Chains A and B, each alone.
Chain A
Amino acid sequence: MRRIFPILTALLITVLCSSTAWGQSKWGHISGDFGFNGMYYIPDSIIGAKEVKEKVRANTWLNLNYTNSGFTAGLRYEFYSYPLIDFEDIGYKGQGLTHYFLDYKNDFIQVTAGTFYEQFGNGFTLRAYEDRQLGIDNSLLGARIKVTPYKGITLKGVWGIERKNFDFEYTKRHDYVRGLDAELSFSDMIGTLSEKGFVLSVGGSFVSKYEKSEKDMYITLPDNQTGILSADKIPQNIATWAARLNFGYKGFRLESEFAHKINDPNNTNSYIYKNGNSFLLTASYSMKGFGVEASFIRSDNMDFRSQRDISASTSLLSINYIPAVNRQYTYALLANYTYASQPNGQIGVQAQVNYKIPKGSKLGGKYGIDITANYARFHNVEQKLVPDAEANGLMNGTDGYTSRFFAFGNDLLYQDIGIEFSHRFNNKNWKLDLAYNFITYNLTILQGHPSPMFKGHNVMGKVTYKINTKHALKLELHHLYAKEDDGSWLYGLLEYSIAPHWFISVADQWNYGNADKIHRTHYYNIAAAFVIKTTRISLNFGKTKEGILCIGGVCRSVPASYGLGLTVTTSF
């Protein structure tokens, strides 16, 4: 703490002076953002909110970027020494300069030195990214080069050491990542193709991880009484490659990517030597007023980390990203049953249809009705144990299992059937949204606690009434009917907003159907927010259920909490 203040103050003063002096001139520009997210914790034994010794915890960060024509320099200081308890749970605790880089870009080349984020294709082989709300930051410290030698051709090369929370001892690390990616867009290169409505591009990537193996590993092995996996049997270089295709003709589009990973015994796959693979195929067609999209995904043994002993419970040191392609809901009650991608074993399909009952039609009224229907189903992959593993009832150190490529495993992981309507009435100040979902969710595999399959019916209704040009009222009611897990829930929200500055809301999530009477709790929440331009200050008081927080397809569990929260964020 004593160390950080002088540094921050000096930094801020420098920046303040420089940006006022240089603000609009040819000397470049300084921009950035910062956030403070703090909470005063109150213990509550019924919901399981534990006592927090310091009472108050907070996450704070500051980003600064300096740009001058093609040059950008940036840094971020994160102060998470006393973080919100859910961040502490995943080990995201500490402080320091976590992001710093120099970047030069022109039409031909881009070079970056320092920490950077990058994605190849869908991310099957490499995705260095961050999600501050989830406490994920997989940036690479090293160098990146991106070249566009000719319109439509993009080549990328990266080398770096992956960030591991607040462990800054990079010099002591014995693991790093290097990768190459190339993309050829024929429709960018050949003008006549795109004039005729064709889109065609192909791409490929190669990513390799090096991790020194000098120590024998002590794990239970089926054929070895000592339980030692000797260091010379652990591969030090792990390679992945992927190929992708994007084809389009007018409203039709087909996208596909296939990735392969060579033997990578690690903690998430019980140290097996089986190769991994991922395959994604998406087809879509869209025109004005109508869109349909369907995809198939398979992913087997594709968890890929910088260090082999990291457990699968967090996203720490993940090199790649395997998306879960189902639709993601932000509805209060359904959010607790969001499907989390299973890179080591999932196979599934998903489809979505968007349709607009036209404006001006008898049914659609003046503004039309938006309809969305979707379906998703995921299973585990089929696993047939290899003889070694079969004989000893243990996969460790063997080739693990074999699996037919298109075979669905016996365990259903998740299923969602949903439909949603959205309609603005002829009196345009009234808007109505309705949604129904039937969710099947495998608690045993997805949340790791043995329970019967969760089956829930969720109904959501939302009315928005614009009182005048600035004042509006929003009412939401949700009902989740279920017998398993915590049973049924009711949720209500009333929000009053005065554009563009004020939001006030009260909400309550009531677990009225819990089998255990003492847990029929009200998770209420009162919130107020004030927004001016890019600054947002919000205050909330209430209870949060223990559950799963998902953003952009990645999830982590959050503990129950009760208390007063203050969030301040700004961009400048």
Chain B
Amino acid sequence: MKKIIILAVFFLTCGSLFAQLDNGARLPSVDLKTLDGETFSTKQMTTGEHPFIVSLWATWCMPCREELDAISLVYEDWVEEFGVTLFAVSIDDSRSASKVAPFVRAKGWEYVVLQDVNSDFKRALNVVDVPFLCVFDQYGNLVWSHTSYAQGGEEEVYEVLKKLQNKDKE
């Protein structure tokens, strides 16, 4: 038991140290699929003009759906204000992958929805659990990321986008 506690403390300390090092991360290059089954390279997300959001989710993940539902209410405003695009990357595997398109289109979400059926992108981003949301600047540099969703959590994303815009103006 002592060993486990020592180990826990050790990992915790390292964790908080690492958490400070949110710098320099770039968008990993992974091939995803569009809802029509065509290949989409994550490189295509970077336009050099506008920041973008990547949200990892799954049809069976309730908090993920809540987060994307909540953002959908303000998404139009975000697009107008920041020119931002949200890439909603589903990690549904071949069990539920074919349910993603009907689900998303019925919802009427305006996001660019992509599929990562064997979690390659999830691993490349070091994601432990979904929902996991990242904000990248127009050059594909990771600006901010977050896991879990609580009602109202989208406000924080807005703040991050706002800050990024102000930084650009300077």
Contact = CB atoms under 8 A, between A and B. Distances in A.
Are A and B physically bound partners?
yes
B86 to A, nearest CB: 17
A293 B96 CA distance: 11
Interface stretch (A62-70, A263-271, A446-454): A62-70
Interface in B132-157: 132, 144-148, 150-153, 155-156
B108 A356 contact: yes
Interface stretch (B10-18, B45-53, B77-85): B10-18
A284 B102 contact: yes
Given A24-B24, A79-B7, A330-B61, A534 B95 contact: no
Contact of A534 (B19, B26, B60, B69): B19
Nearest to B43: A107
B151 A16 contact: no
B156 A500 contact: yes
B62 interface: yes
Given A38-B4, A62-B11, A291 B101 contact: yes
Given A185-B38, A327-B99, A568-B11, A500 B93 contact: no
B167 interface: no
Nearest to B120: A117
Interface string A212-223: 000000000000
A151 B86 CA distance: 26
A163 interface: no
Nearest to A287: B105
Contacts of A549: none
Nearest to A293: B102
A329 B60 CA distance: 7
B103 A291 contact: yes
Interface in B1-60: 1, 3-5, 7-8, 10-12, 14-19, 21-26, 28-29, 36-39, 58, 60
A238 B96 CA distance: 29
A182 interface: no
Which among A123, A370, A531, A571 has the highest number of chain B CB atoms within 10 Å? A571
B129 interface: yes
B98 A282 contact: yes
Interface stretch (A394-402, A463-471, A479-487): A463-471
A553 B146 contact: no
A534 B146 contact: yes
A290 interface: yes
A497 B152 CA distance: 9
A218 B150 CA distance: 57
B119 interface: yes
Contact of B1 (A16, A35, A56, A324): A56
B37 to A, nearest CB: 5
A536 interface: yes
| Chain B interface size range | 35 or more
Contact of A54 (B1, B8, B15, B145): B1
Given A55-B1, A63-B126, A82-B4, A499 B153 contact: yes
Interface of B is mostly: mixed
Interface string B153-170: 101100000000000000
A288 B106 CA distance: 5
Contacts of B118: 117-119, 123, 127, 129
Contacts of B104: 286, 291
Contact of A56 (B4, B38, B99): B4
A178 B84 CA distance: 43
B130 to A, nearest CB: 11
B7 A36 contact: yes
Nearest to A570: B15
Interface of A is mostly: strand
Contacts of B22: 533, 572
B37 A255 contact: yes
Nearest to A428: B73
B23 to A, nearest CB: 5
B19 to A, nearest CB: 5
A387 interface: no
Nearest to A4: B7
Given A82-B4, A370-B106, A499-B156, A12 B151 contact: no
A292 interface: yes
Contacts of B10: 8
B107 A58 contact: no
A534 B125 CA distance: 11
Contacts of A325: 95-96, 98
A104 to B, nearest CB: 11
A57 B5 CA distance: 10
Contacts of A248: 36-37
B127 A470 contact: no
Contact of A571 (B16, B102, B147, B155): B147
A291 B39 contact: no
A498 B73 contact: no
Which among A36, A132, A188 has the highest number of chain B CB atoms within 10 Å? A36
Given A129-B118, A253-B36, A534 B147 contact: yes
A60 interface: yes
A466 B92 CA distance: 29
A77 B11 CA distance: 12
A472 B67 CA distance: 13
Contact of B105 (A65, A105, A251): A251
B125 A571 contact: yes
B148 A284 contact: no
A518 interface: no
A24 B23 CA distance: 6
A127 B125 CA distance: 20
A469 B155 contact: yes
Given A16-B14, A534-B132, A552-B58, 15 more contacts: A32-B18, A32-B126, A55-B1, A185-B38, A284-B98, A291-B102, A291-B103, A293-B101, A321-B94, A330-B60, A470-B152, A533-B145, A568-B11, A568-B12, A570-B15
11 contacts: A56-B5, A152-B39, A187-B36, A201-B37, A284-B101, A325-B95, A356-B106, A469-B155, A532-B19, A533-B145, A536-B147
